[in-house]
Amino acid sequence: MDQLNIKSEYVFISSSVDDVNIMSGKDINNYSAGSIIHQTGDPTNLLNRYIINSQNIVLGIQPNLTVNLEPVVKSVQLIDILKQMLSIMNDITNNPSEVKAITGEILQVSSSLSNIKSTITKTY
């Protein structure tokens, strides 16, 4: 079996001209007794991006078999729905006789609740 093993007190891989690529036919594992830090250049540069491109992103490790995998909430959509709900509650409070007219708005907000779950990012 062909292997490359590097054991050193410090390893530094750098390319000042082009990308550095690490590929594997299976998994790529990073282990650290401390932290793992991913940084994209100057933190004040808003053009820097950290991209995770995967069909299924899982955050965390399942602590036990009784904990179910949950979708992560899309925060912008959640905030929009919560604002709509608060607006509806405000309308009901200020105009209790108009509750029937607001029913359509309530149904619309209710139907949009399923859209606040991420379909690819999940956590335990």
The one-digit pLDDT tens for each residue of the chain (124 residues) are 788 899 999 999 999 899 999 999 999 999 999 999 888 888 788 888 888 888 888 888 877 778 788 889 999 999 999 999 999 999 888 888 877 778 888 888 888 888 888 888 888 7
Task: Answer whether 0.75 is exceeded by the pTM.
Answer: no
Is 65 within a domain? Answer: yes
Is 73 within a domain? Answer: yes
Is 97 within a domain? Answer: yes
The DSSP annotation for 51-120 comes to ----S-EEES---STTSPPEEEE-HHHHHHHHHHHHHHHHHHHH-GGGHHHHHHHHHHHHHHGGGGEEEE
Q: Which range marks the domain in which residue 119 is found?
A: 57-123
What pLDDT, on a 0 to 100 scale, did the predictor assign at position 2? 86
Is 66 within a domain? Answer: yes
Question: For the chain, how many structural domains are there in total?
Answer: 1
Is 96 within a domain? Answer: yes
Is 88 within a domain? Answer: yes
Is 113 within a domain? Answer: yes
